[in-house]
């Protein structure tokens, strides 16, 4: 059984898959308390409802979409999550996993498209990243930094230069209320970083922060 907060179909709002229809399986429970968290309703363990693997697969199939993201909360906290991921892959879905970077990635199926957050000082959770995960990154895995301010950008730049200089897919996403996207764009260009600027597409389309979007 897995504790599920919600299952819905929307447009993928982040990552290199942004703009594509996607089924989201949001699992309940998170081990972090980021300053900018926008899914607080899924953070507490017990905030979802228990669902069997077959029940989840049936719900996903009902949307008729071949792109699925398993997210949270923190999806890798639940011991049954790898079984869900393997089952989705075996059904032929393209499977994304959004993870906060604090849980081990080694041993997960190489077919998965991992979107791995590295928390910055502005998140309040900068010590949470499991350093061993750097060795588990594959070229098609995406590394994401959510930046609260310019100090976060400079911290992020140093981290990239030290640990991720050769990684092909790095995403920088601003907390727009405190770091205007235009300013982040300027910093990326000034520093000649080979990264992707990412805005949260779903929040541009549905700014009211509706659940299920």
109-155 pLDDT, tens digit each: 999 999 999 999 999 999 999 999 999 999 999 999 999 999 999 99
Kindly list the domain boundaries of the chain, sorted by start residue: 2-205
Give the pLDDT band of residue 206 (cuts 50, 70, 90).
Answer: confident
Mean pLDDT calculated for residue range 93-112: 98
Name the percent of the chain lying above pLDDT 90: 89
**How many angstroms separate the CA atoms of 176 and 199, rounded?**
9
Q: Which residue has the higher pLDDT, 6 or 45?
A: 6
State whether the Cα torsion 151-154-156-159 is positive or negative: negative
Which candidate, 105, 153, 149, places its Cα nearest to that of 129?
A: 105
CATH number of 2-205: 3.40.50.720, 3.50.30.40, 3.20.20.70, 1.10.10.10?
3.20.20.70
- Six token digits for residue 42: 């899924």
Which residues, other chains included, contact 169 with Cβ-Cβ below 8 Å and sequence gap of 6+?
16, 139, 140, 141, 142, 143, 196
Give per-residue pLDDT as tens, 161-191.
999 999 999 999 999 999 999 999 999 999 9
Q: Is the pLDDT of residue 45 over 90?
A: no
């Amino acid at each position: 059984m897995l504790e599920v907060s919600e299952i819905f179909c929307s447009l993928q709002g982040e990552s290199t898959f942004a703009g594509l229809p996607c089924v989201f399986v949001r699992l309940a429970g998170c081990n972090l308390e980021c300053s900018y968290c926008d899914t607080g309703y899924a953070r507490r363990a017990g905030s979802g409802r228990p669902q069997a693997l077959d029940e989840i697969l049936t719900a996903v199939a009902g949307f008729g979409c071949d792109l699925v993201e398993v997210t949270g909360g923190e999806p890798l906290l639940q011991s049954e999550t790898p079984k869900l991921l393997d089952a989705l892959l075996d059904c032929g879905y393209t499977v994304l996993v959004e993870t906060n970077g604090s849980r081990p990635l080694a041993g997960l199926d190489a077919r998965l498209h991992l979107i791995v957050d590295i928390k910055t000082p502005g998140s309040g959770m900068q010590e949470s990243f499991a350093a061993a995960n750097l060795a588990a990154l594959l070229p098609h895995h995406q590394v994401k930094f959510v930046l609260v301010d310019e100090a976060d950008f400079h911290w992020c730049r140093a981290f990239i230069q030290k640990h991720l200089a050769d990684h092909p897919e790095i995403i920088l996403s601003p907390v727009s209320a405190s770091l205007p996207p235009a300013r982040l764009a300027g910093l990326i260009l000034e520093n000649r970083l080979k990264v992707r600027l990412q805005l949260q597409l779903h929040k541009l389309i549905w700014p009211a922060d509706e659940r299920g979007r």
